[in-house]
Chains A and B, each alone.
Chain A
């Protein structure tokens, strides 16, 4: 089973809002959704710094109506990590 988002880009991960989280990251970093899924470390592979990651927190908060503390910044290294933090704050299942 695969999920999808508003742009029609599909993902093999069917967790709730997974594709949406991925697309928020893709838009911010100006990369494709597929590339977001491939990246293991935003800072190592893209040189992303903490200001950009705080902007990601702001966009996730705005999009999903959650409050994500900046204390989580060190955890936000990849899509799965960002999803886990957001899902935990939003109460989406167990965040897996």
Chain B
């Protein structure tokens, strides 16, 4: 979808203190072999008392302040998370905490780690059909905690970090960037990886979750190399369509903000199909130092580039996210 009048007016994040991956290996919590193959140096770990909706509110208040708006200015409050077993209605919690109006809806998007980029598209569509436009809050937060999710071993190829992010999207020219285009791709044959019930797993003593086992069984059934080809095709297709809608050539992308996937995957899974190298991602100076923060990777990377002064007016930035399902979402931003 191509957009002409949707803007990113504010960004806010919340990043707990980073715990060293070397320390996790020394403590026997993280495989030394996976550490070597992934190249992730550490990851943010939230305090036990913190919940994802609270973290999302911290990020949301920063984003609203950056946009110069109040909660009462919002026309929609969105929330997404990969792992939040702690609150039944997190979008309502965020709406209440930021002071949203009662005539404004709340919505939770359960699309895993592609959720933030998908919500960017949902927000833009909402603004397009809202008389007079307005502002939408996109909030995300994850806390990958035991006993259900072991950040170091539940899945491979990543270390899962705790973080929150928020974007305020408006129909008025403002702030950081203009949303130029979006695209999505569904590889729903892979949904079976996420079938099941956390309650049943708990009853059967199958916690912490072993996502890697579910995935490996699926790869075997689908055909491992076929899965890899399908994944690469999905990444390439999502990005290609978003860039085509944006009228942007692949070589014109200043930065590609992709998931902080470890080195054992990111070459074939992200860089190769996108046709970029790490000089156009934030991996080297940023991503590998925090690992995969669920839905927050792209917002944290954007904020990192903004704080570093690495973005110029007119730069086109590609956001590419991959979530359970599998779902692939892309957005093209133009820095203002």
The segment from B16-24, B66-74, B139-147, B224-232 that touches chain A is B224-232
Quick one: given A43-B37, A50-B156, A54-B219, are A70 and B227 in contact (CB under 8 Å)?
no
Determine the chain A residues whose CB is within 8 A of the CB of B227 once the complex forms. 51
Interface size class of A (residues with CB under 8 A): 10 to 19
Contact indicator A49/B265 (Cβ below 8 Å): yes
- A61 to B36: give the CA distance in the assembly, Å: 29
Which B residue's beta carbon lies closest to that of A52? B224
Contact indicator B224/A58 (Cβ below 8 Å): yes
Contact indicator A55/B224 (Cβ below 8 Å): yes
Does B223 make an interface contact (CB < 8 A)? yes
| A54-90 Cβ-contact flags toward B at 8 Å (1 or 0) | 1101100000000000110100000000000000000
Contact indicator B216/A70 (Cβ below 8 Å): yes
- A54 to B220: give the CA distance in the assembly, Å: 6
Q: How far is the CB of A34 from chain B (nearest CB, A)?
A: 24
Q: How far is the CB of B243 from chain A (nearest CB, A)?
A: 27
Q: Which of A44, A47, A50, A52 contacts B216 (CB 8 A)?
A: A50
Determine the chain A residues whose CB is within 8 A of the CB of B103 once the complex forms. none
Contact indicator B220/A58 (Cβ below 8 Å): yes
Determine the chain B residues whose CB is within 8 A of the CB of A49 once the complex forms. 37, 157, 264-265
**Secondary structure dominating the interface of B:** helix
Contact indicator A55/B33 (Cβ below 8 Å): no
Q: How far is the CB of B109 from chain A (nearest CB, A)?
A: 28
Determine the chain A residues whose CB is within 8 A of the CB of B216 once the complex forms. 50, 54, 70, 73
Contact indicator B264/A70 (Cβ below 8 Å): no
Does B217 make an interface contact (CB < 8 A)? yes
Q: How far is the CB of B234 from chain A (nearest CB, A)?
A: 15
- A43 to B36: give the CA distance in the assembly, Å: 10
- A51 to B155: give the CA distance in the assembly, Å: 13
Determine the chain B residues whose CB is within 8 A of the CB of A55 once the complex forms. 223-225
Q: How far is the CB of A62 from chain B (nearest CB, A)?
A: 11
- A52 to B264: give the CA distance in the assembly, Å: 11
Residue of B36, B220, B223, B227 most packed against chain A (CB within 10 A): B220
- A54 to B228: give the CA distance in the assembly, Å: 12
Determine the chain B residues whose CB is within 8 A of the CB of A44 once the complex forms. 36
Does B247 make an interface contact (CB < 8 A)? no
- What are 19 of the A-B contact pairs (CB < 8 Å)? A43-B33, A44-B36, A47-B37, A47-B264, A49-B37, A49-B264, A51-B225, A51-B227, A52-B224, A54-B216, A54-B219, A57-B220, A58-B220, A58-B224, A70-B216, A70-B217, A70-B220, A71-B213, A73-B216
Apart from A44-B36, A55-B224, list 5 A-B contacts with CB within 8 A: A43-B33, A43-B37, A47-B37, A47-B264, A58-B223
7 A-B pairs with the lowest CB-CB distances in the bound complex, closest first:
A55-B224, A70-B216, A54-B224, A51-B224, A49-B264, A54-B219, A55-B225
List chain A positions with a Cβ less than 8 A from chain B.
43-44, 47, 49-52, 54-55, 57-58, 70-71, 73
